Amino acid sequence: MSGDPVGDLEALALLHDPVRRSLYDVVASRGGDVGRGEAADAAGVSRTLAGHHLDRLVEAGLLESGFRAPERKGPGSGRPAKVYRRAGGERSVSLPPRDYVTLASVLAAVVDELGAEEAAERAARAEGARIGGRHRGEPVERVLAGRGYEPFAEGGRVRLRNCPFHVAAEERPLLVCSMNLALCQGLLEGLGEEPGRARLDPRPGECCVVVEGAPVSKTNED
């Protein structure tokens, strides 16, 4: 989180432009480095226009850029290609400003001090079940997407590209990850699915929870 509400507002305002928003979504959804040409093709714009908007998003701190070495080595291999990835920081806007992160940090400290981890997990699971109950019958990946987890299919399971509790998890990973797991298990329970499908499988740059079983296809939904 940047801590600069004005800067956050200006940065997020850039996404109002449909081309920039499309390019940002392309880069964010890939979960890694995306070349200028790849982003341009996915967004349906020219490479030159894509480069202009991608660099604007880098200047605003919404994306990061780097260079990918050419596959061929030696003379004639060409220059390194510029690539883009989603920036690691967070952007949020609240008018008037709110500071829920500090409150979450204080509450997590209280849980630690009281040794109330099990009670916190029970509360998280109950909240997950309440949320899932409102969406009973919907595919779990759709509900997770609506909660900001950014699910994607990989190897017969649903992985989560984004952790909605990233800041708190950096401060107290064991507590927050266990509560996140309980929340996801409760969510599955509320949806009418097997809670045990959710388990911990942390991987750098992603949420610590995975959901076993491939996403529901459109055919299955129907």
What is the pLDDT at residue 217?
A: 54
Closest C-alpha to 178, from 107, 114, 120, 131: 120
Q: For 101-105, what is the mean pLDDT?
A: 87
Q: For 121-131, what is the mean pLDDT?
A: 97
Q: For 18-46, what is the mean pLDDT?
A: 91
| Chain position carrying tokens 């800041």 | 167
What is the pLDDT at residue 131?
A: 97
In this structure, are residues 150 and 160 in contact, taking their beta carbons and an 8 Å threshold? Answer: yes
What is the pLDDT at residue 8?
A: 73
Whole-number Å distance between alpha carbons of 75 and 179: 54
- Dump pLDDT digits (tens) for 48-101: 999 999 999 999 888 999 998 776 665 555 678 899 998 877 766 666 777 888
Specify the DSSP class assigned to residue 15: G
In this structure, are residues 215 and 143 in contact, taking their beta carbons and an 8 Å threshold? Answer: no
Q: Residue 122 pLDDT more than 80?
A: yes
- Dump pLDDT digits (tens) for 172-187: 999 999 999 999 999 9
